[in-house]
Amino acid sequence: MLKHNIIFLLFIVTQIPMMLFDFNSKSDISNWSTVDDVVMGGRSNGSFKINDAGNGLFFGKVSLENNGGFSMVQYHFETKNVTNFSKVYIRLKGDGKPYQFRVKTNTSDRHSYVAPFNTSGDWEIIEISFETLSPAFRGRKLDIPNYEGNQMEMLAFLIGNKKAESFSLEIDSIVLK
């Protein structure tokens, strides 16, 4: 029994994190794209770029005009097997506003798995457990199980706080552990 516990502990301690994205001044962000409420007639305007510090910067304005109210940046990538991981760690600097972190198991899925998080205005590491990612479609919770953590093909950050506001979210890295 002791031998099995030691092997298990060694596995946990030596588990190599999976880097989903590590921003720098030369990062290729061609697989990152913004989606705003204009797809439904709204007037919000979000952008994404690499800033002078070499971090990803999601910024813009959310508008409530024409039933608008959200902006999102999403990152599409080849299917990743994530069964050996249970949490996402995001090093970021927000603007003190709440955001959502989202994942999709398949880019063709209509729903996402969503976890809200708050930002402090300072650099921080946001920790999100897979088990807390709940299924949603167009802002409505779905009656299906939370994210099972088997595979991932897309992640996203969304702001939609039911108010008109400017926003700025600076992202340094996104890691699975």
DSSP result, 10-42: HHHHHPPPEEEEE--TT---TTEEEEEGGGGT-
Query: In the beta sheet, which residues pair with residue 104?
Result: 154
The Cα–Cα gap between 36 and 18 comes to 29
Average pLDDT rounded to a whole number, residues 25-41:
93
For tokens 């953590």, the residue is 149
Tell whether the model's pLDDT for residue 161 goes beyond 70.
yes
Contact status, residue 39 vs residue 158, Cβ threshold 8 Å: no
- Report how far residue 111's alpha carbon sits from residue 71's, in angstroms, rounded to the nearest whole number: 16
Averaged pLDDT, 130-145? 94
Please say if the pLDDT value at position 18 is more than 50. Answer: yes
Phi-psi label, residue 71: left if phi above 0, alpha if psi -120 to 50, beta otherwise: beta
pLDDT higher than 60, residue 42 = yes
Confidence band for 8, pLDDT divided at 50, 70 and 90: very low
Average pLDDT score over residue span 33-55: 94
The pLDDT value recorded for residue 3 is: 45
State the average pLDDT over residues 23-39. Answer: 95
Question: What is the pLDDT at residue 14?
Answer: 53
pLDDT of residue 6: 47
Hey, what's the torsion of the CAs at 81, 34, 99, 89, to 10 degrees? 30
Give the tens place of pLDDT for each residue, 69-119. 999 999 999 999 999 999 999 999 999 999 999 999 999 999 999 999 999
